[in-house]
Amino acid sequence: MQQQNIPISTLVDMYKTGALRLPEIQRHYVWRSTRVRDLLDSLYRGYPSGSILMWETDEPVPTRDGAIAQDTTAFAGRKLLLDGQQRITSLTAVLNGEQVKVRGRRRPIEILFNLEHREGPPTEVTEVEGDQNSSMTPDDEESDETDESGEGEATVAENIKHSTFVVASRALQSQPQWVSVSEVFRTANDSTILRKAGVVSFDDPRFQKYSERLTRLRQIARYHYVVHVLERSMNYQEVTEIFVRVNSLGAKLRSSDLALAQITSRWQNLLKELEAFQEECEQSWFTIDLGQLVRAIVVFATRQCLFHTVGKTPIVDLKRGWEEAKEGLRFAINFLRSNAGIEDETLLSSPMFIHVLAAISRVKDNRLAQAEQQALLRWLLVANARGHFSRGSTETLLNEDLAIIFRTGEVAALLEPLKRQFGRLHIEAGDLVNRGANSPFFSLAYLALKAGGAKDWFSGLGLSLTHQGKLHFIQWHHICPKSLLKEKGYETAEINEIANMAFITGQTNRRISNKEPSEYLAGIVADQGQQALDSQLVPSDPALLKLENYRAFLRVRREALAKRMNEFIRDKSGATA
C-alpha cells in the first residue's frame, strides 16, 4: 500500500474534475453544517483530522454520484475514494462555494469566519450531532447556531462573538467582522474584504491582524492529508472487505452502511435501484433512509432484521427479498397515510414500524379482515405513541414482532408484547408531564388534534405536513410564550411541554410572536369562533390563561389531551378498551 501526502487543494481539484470518484459502496453525504464548521476550525488551527483512503484501479467498478456535481474526464474512475468522503465533499463545497445536494437540506452550507476571533485554544465545546429530523419546526427555530443547551441568550451571543467559525445566519452576515469562507477562497485580493470590515487604510491597527488571519485561513488549502492508496492488484470484493473493516473499527458508519457495502460488492447497480425506489416513496411524501431499505431486504431474505449474516446470504435470496420488500413497503406507506393519517416518516417514533407493516402485507398477501385491520391500527398507534422500539434493544424488539408475524400470522398477537412492555395501553395525563417535542406522544397529539378538526388560527387551513409554500408549513407553537414564562421563573421542561403546544402555520406563529395568551387568543375567538380554540383543546377559562396560573393550565390541558388521544385511537381502530 502506497502512502502519499496530498494538499487539500489537490484533493478538491481531483474531486471536482472527476479524477476521484465514489464507489457504489459509499454512503450518502450526511454531514450537517456544524460538522463542516468544526472541521474548518481544526484545519485552521493545524490540528490532525484523520487520513484519506483511496483505491487506484483499472477494473470497471460501479460508481455513484457525489453530493457535488463532478466533471467527466478520460481518467474518471481511476481513483476511488473509500474513506474521507465527508471531509473532501465539505471542503469542496466551502472552498469553491459549491451547492451540496442533500435530501432534506433546505439551504447550502455557508460558514462564516470571524476576523475578530479570540486567540488561543478553542473554548467552545464540540457538538455531538443527533440524526432525528421533523417536518414540523419549533416556533423559535432560526438557524443551526441556536441555543439548545439552556444557556441564556446573552451567554450564547458572547460565545458566538468570540468563535472563529460559525454557521452563517442573516444577523451575523450583516456584521462587518464576519466574512464568508467561500468568499475568501474566491478572492485573491483582500482589499474588498477589508473595506467591508471597515479597514480603509494601512494605518488602521486592524490591517495587519486581519490580513494575517485571512492568509492563515487560505493556508487551509495547503494542509496535507496522509493518503493511503490500495494496490491496483486488489479486486472489488477484497477492497469492499477493507472498506468494511476500516469503518467498523472507526465506528464511522452504521451497520446498515456496512451491510450495503457487502451487498453491492456482489450485486452491482443495486444502489441505483434503491435510490429509484426512494424517489418513488418521495412522491407519497415518505423519505425512507437507504439503511432501512437495506434492512427491508434482510428482513425478507432472512426472516429476521440483523445484518450479521448478510455477507453470507446468497445473492439470489437477497434479490428475492428486495422484490418482496418493495411490495411490502408500498403497502406500509399506504396504510400509514390512508388508515393511520400518518403523512410522513417524521410522525413515526421509529422507522422500524415500516418493516412490521411490510411483513404483514406479504404474509397476508394484502388480504386483511376487518378485525385484523383494526388490531394492526391499534398496535401501530399505541406502539408509536409509547415509543415501542426505544424501550430496549431496537433489533431485539423488531425481531420479536417479526417472529410473531412470520410464524403465526396473527396480527392481534402483536398487542401482547406491548402489554408486557407497558402494563397498560391507554394514555393517562401523568404520562405527558415534562414530555416535549422529542417525546413519541408529540406526534399522537398532532394526529389527535388534526382528527378533531384543528385548523390554523389565522388562515383557517386544516393541519397537514404537505402544505405548499413556506408560509404554510406547520409549526408547533407555545401557547404561553417561552420568553414570558422564562421571565416568570418556570423550568425549561415545563415550558416546553406538549400541553403548551398548539399546531399552526409559520406565518401565524410570527404574527402572534410573544404576546400574552389572554391577549391574542381573544382576538382569535373574535375572528374564528370558539371552535378554533376548542379543537386545539385550549382551556376556555380566562383565569387559566394568566401566566401566574400556568401550572394549572398544564394540568387541565394534559387531561384534555390524554382524553382526546385515547378517543382518537379508539375511533380509528374500533378498540373497546
Three-state SS sequence of 44-79: HCCCCCCCEEEEECCCCCCEECCCCCCCCCCCCCCE
User: Quick check: 21 pLDDT over 50?
Assistant: yes
User: Quick check: 178 pLDDT over 60?
Assistant: yes
**Worst-scoring range by mean pLDDT, 76-80, 133-137, 507-511?**
133-137
Mean pLDDT confidence for 546-561: 96
Mean pLDDT confidence for 362-367: 96
Q: What is the pLDDT of residue 33?
A: 87
Q: What is the pLDDT of residue 100?
A: 73
Q: Is the Cβ–Cβ distance between 436 and 442 less than 8 Å?
A: yes
Strands 224-230 and 2-7: antiparallel
Nearest C-alpha neighbor of 447 from the set 569, 575, 350, 574: 569
Give the three-class secondary structure for 544.
Answer: helix
Alpha carbon 359 to its chain's center: 26
Place of cell 434493544: 393
User: Quick check: 477 pLDDT over 50?
Assistant: yes
User: Quick check: 128 pLDDT over 50?
Assistant: no
**Angle of CA points 26, 297, 402, to nearest 5°:** 135
Helix H or strand E segment including 438: none
pLDDT tier for residue 136 given thresholds of 50, 70 and 90: low
Residues in a beta bridge with 531: none
Distant-in-sequence, close-in-space partners of 352: CB < 8 Å, separation ≥ 6: 305, 389, 394, 397, 398
**Worst-scoring range by mean pLDDT, 135-149, 259-273, 387-401, 521-535?**
135-149
pLDDT tens digit string along 387-434? 999 888 899 999 999 999 999 999 999 999 999 999 999 999 999 999
Q: Write down how long the chain is.
A: 577
Mean pLDDT confidence for 506-518: 85
User: Quick check: 452 pLDDT over 50?
Assistant: yes
Nearest C-alpha neighbor of 364 from the set 335, 388, 385: 335
**Angle of CA points 524, 527, 528, to nearest 5°:** 75
Q: Is the Cβ–Cβ distance between 115 and 177 less than 8 Å?
A: yes
User: Quick check: 131 pLDDT over 60?
Assistant: no
pLDDT tens digit string along 150-168? 334 444 466 677 789 999 8
Phi, psi at 2, each rounded to 5°: -80, 155
User: Quick check: 94 pLDDT over 80?
Assistant: yes
pLDDT tier for residue 318 given thresholds of 50, 70 and 90: very high
Cα(118)–Cα(373) distance, integer angstroms: 62
What is the dihedral angle through the alpha carbons of 66, 67, 69, 72, rounded to the nearest 10 degrees? 0
Q: What is the pLDDT of residue 471?
A: 59
Q: What is the pLDDT of residue 323?
A: 97
User: Quick check: 133 pLDDT over 60?
Assistant: no
Q: What is the pLDDT of residue 293?
A: 96
Residues in a beta bridge with 224: 7
Give the three-class secondary structure for 340.
Answer: coil
Cα(292)–Cα(549) distance, integer angstroms: 46
Q: What is the pLDDT of residue 69?
A: 83
Give, as one character, the DSSP assignment of residue 426. S
**Angle of CA points 414, 420, 425, to nearest 5°:** 75
Dihedral class, residue 453 (left if φ above 0, else alpha if ψ from -120 to 50, else beta)? left
Q: What is the pLDDT of residue 151?
A: 39
Q: What is the pLDDT of residue 44?
A: 95
Residue type, 524: I
User: Quick check: 484 pLDDT over 50?
Assistant: yes
pLDDT tens digit string along 229-278? 998 888 888 888 888 777 765 545 677 887 888 898 889 889 899 999 99
Mean pLDDT confidence for 24-38: 85
Q: What is the mean pLDDT of the chain?
A: 86
Distant-in-sequence, close-in-space partners of 409: CB < 8 Å, separation ≥ 6: 363, 364
Place of cell 391507554: 426
Helix H or strand E segment including 486: helix 482-487
Q: What is the pLDDT of residue 392?
A: 80
* pLDDT above 70 as % of the chain: 89
Q: What is the DSSP string of 492-513?
A: HHHHT-GGGEEEEEHHHHHHHT
Strands 52-56 and 224-230: parallel
Mean pLDDT confidence for 294-309: 94
Q: What is the pLDDT of residue 101?
A: 67
